[in-house]
Structure 1
Amino acid sequence: MKFTKRTAYIILVIVATIAIDQISKVLVRANIQPRTDFQLGERISLIGDAFIMMNVENSGAFLGMGSDLNPTLRIVLLLILPIIVLGFVLRHILKDKTIDNWSLFAFASIIGGGIANVYDRIIYGSVTDFFYIDLGGVFRTGIFNMADLSVTTGMFILLFVSFGKKKKSEDLEKTA
């Protein structure tokens, strides 16, 4: 594989995503009392009750799913499978030179976020989550972190790019 500006861009986005996530988690672990089964932990209001920070260790995946799995299945589903998938996605974006810049950024953000959370599971046995949004019950999130935000943002970008490509192809078909 030849090292190009494109490859450097992919690596830069992945490394920046991991760094931002890991730095934010170090700060949260050092400064916010964690929630345990027996106590609620510290809650820091950033914007009223709408945007709150707290420290929650998540031994599962999204919204704690998988935390009740037996240890072997948890290792397979939360460590081995994600590492394999992230490796294939990275290989794909490095090889496929036709991927547009927005999609490249999206895939690199997803890979960086995935690596950051897998790293936490390997090193700490859980993932540190700390952001919570509640817009008066109209919109409410689970507790998440910067890696989750990167993965979600990447998915939304891919979705919008996909719709944009579909719209362009429909427009071309109409004019042909």
Structure 2
Amino acid sequence: MKNYSNILKKLGFVLPIIIVLIIIDLVTKEIAQANLQFKPSVTYLGGFIKLVYAENTGGMLSFGSSIPEFFKVLIFQFFVFGLLLFLLGYIVYKDDLTKIQTSAFLLFLGGGFGNLIDRFFNDGKVIDFILLQAGGIHTGIFNVADMYVTTGVGLILVAAIMEKYSERKNVEMLKRKEAEKEEHGEIENVESKNGSL
């Protein structure tokens, strides 16, 4: 049976981290709204970073912003909320997650709840304010919560690559040990034959 004291202990560890991530995201959105709304955009690093206020009714990088309002509420509020609760339960229940996997899921939760709270109190809209551009190439406008999610995806990919590498290394090690055993067995057979002569 699952040890519920361990679950509560994990909740006590992950919840403060998620709350801090959410607060950072919401504070940056408040700052952006106060300093950028109805004002000219601001650029840094020779125009590579552009701060410009935008309100997004869709998902990350405006995905789904053109779908009907009913489906926006259904997908970006109810479905996302359920998914985040499931992910939170998964983190606190699973005992074999690596540090990288746990960090990635915490970033997903921080970003997901950050945008969800913003959407709930902002009439279904999320505040975006960061745009990266170089030459004629540029990203969509995003926020800190989106950065959390993107970083989380990157960490999941790193974890998957590391796991594959570890599995391959273990297989090679097992093959090497089996080869050594076979070689050792052949040597013993030769020695026993020589002894019988």
User: Shared fold by TM > 0.5?
Assistant: yes
Note if contact 1:13-1:109 (Cα within 8 Å) is conserved in structure 2. Answer: no
Identity of aligned residues (%): 27
Instruction: Decide whether aligned partners of structure 1 residues 70 and 99 sit closer, same or farther in structure 2, where only a CA change above 3 A counts.
Output: same
Kindly indicate which of the two structures has a greater share of residues assigned to helix: 2
What is the aligned partner in structure 1 of residue 101 from structure 2? 103
Structure 1 runs, 4 residues or longer, greater than 2 Å off: 6-9
1:123-168 CA-partner distances (Å, limit 9, x unpaired): 102000001111224x531111000000110110111011101100
- TM-score, length-normalised on structure 1? 0.90
The CA distance in 1 between the partners of 2:131 and 2:64, in whole Å, is: 20
Q: Within the alignment, does 1:23 sit opposite 2:21 as a pair? A: no
1:14-64 CA-partner distances (Å, limit 9, x unpaired): 111101100000101111124xxxxxx521012221111011001111222
What is the aligned partner in structure 1 of residue 180 from structure 2? none
Q: What displacement does 1:71 show?
A: 1.6
Q: What is the aligned length?
A: 168
5+ residue gaps, structure 1, are 35-40
Q: What displacement does 1:107 show?
A: 0.2
Q: 1:83 aligns with which of 81, 88, 91?
A: 81
Q: Within the alignment, does 1:70 sit opposite 2:74 as a pair? A: no
The CA distance in 2 between the partners of 1:173 and 1:10, in whole Å, is: 34
The CA distance in 1 between the partners of 2:135 and 2:172, in whole Å, is: 44
The CA distance in 1 between the partners of 2:160 and 2:142, in whole Å, is: 26
- TM-score, length-normalised on structure 2? 0.81
The CA distance in 2 between the partners of 1:134 and 1:8, in whole Å, is: 40
Note if contact 1:43-1:52 (Cα within 8 Å) is conserved in structure 2. Answer: yes
Q: 2:150 aligns with which of 144, 149, 152?
A: 152
Q: Tell which structure's C-alpha radius of gyration is larger.
A: 2
What is the aligned partner in structure 2 of residue 164 from structure 1? 162
SS at match of 1:45: strand
1:31 alignment partner AA? N
5+ residue gaps, structure 2, are 175-197
SS at match of 2:44: strand
Q: What displacement does 1:80 show?
A: 0.9
The CA distance in 1 between the partners of 2:70 and 2:56, in whole Å, is: 17
What is the aligned partner in structure 1 of residue 127 from structure 2? 128
1:57-85 CA-partner distances (Å, limit 9, x unpaired): 01111222222222211111111111111
